[in-house]
A and B are shown apart, each in its own frame.
Chain A
Amino acid sequence: TQLLEQSPQFLSIQEGENLTVYCNSSSVFSSLQWYRQEPGEGPVLLVTVVTGGEVKKLKRLTFQFGDARKDSSLHITAAQPGDTGLYLCAGASAGGTSYGKLTFGQGTILTVHP
């Protein structure tokens, strides 16, 4: 069974601060996705990283996939209250027939105070 350890579980910061969320595993993933979820809604895809060492930027969000494709990070620069939400990482199995199944981290609840 593949596991994804996501940290921290909770993050409470002031507007304007920077933060990083980590996703780590001992398993290799063919791709890794980051989602953001707001209360009462389904997870919304932010980004998919596929290549080891890949870095993707989405405005103030920077996503990185580890060289060995076992870990990933999400960095938010100058956080805003609108960034508040639950952030989830999810990995797709590498090799074989995975049928697109995802392994999710436990999630990081981010609160950005004005």
Chain B
Amino acid sequence: DAGITQSPRHKVTETGTPVTLRCHQTENHRYMYWYRQDPGHGLRLIHYSYGVKDTDKGEVSDGYSVSRSKTEDFLLTLESATSSQTSVYFCAIRKQGLLSGNTIYFGEGSWLTVV
């Protein structure tokens, strides 16, 4: 358990509406990530953060923005939701160990349906 909480866990929204997903962590990790998971694509990185107010784009960032105003929270916003953004969204944090290298732990996911 890496102390990650995602909210909401399930949401149905209409096309064109804004949506914000929240990721909250309790262990003060510097690195946080948002991935989406779709059939046949595995998990793909949307945005990531390497510190408060330090964020960057991943491979599928179009249509998404993020914010990290404090260490424990990483927000993912869909400014104007589209049906192609129907997906399962996973937040993740990075734990770094001398022997284990980069170890990423995932939250339980947020299921988003855009109708």
Contact = CB atoms under 8 A, between A and B. Distances in A.
B58 interface: yes
A7 interface: no
Interface residues of A, number: 26
A30 B45 CA distance: 18
A101 B46 CA distance: 10
B103 A33 contact: yes
Contacts of B72: none
Q: Is the interface of B mostly helix, strand, loop or mixed?
A: strand
B102 A100 contact: yes
Contact of B50 (A44, A99, A102): A99
A41 B109 CA distance: 7
B104 A42 contact: no
A101 B101 contact: no
Contacts of A104: 42-44
A21 interface: no
Contact of A43 (B40, B43, B58): B43
Interface string B47-59: 0101000001011
Interface of B: 31, 33, 40-45, 48, 50, 56, 58-59, 90, 94, 96, 99-109
13 contacts: A30-B102, A43-B43, A43-B90, A50-B100, A88-B43, A98-B102, A99-B50, A100-B33, A100-B48, A101-B45, A104-B43, A104-B44, A105-B42
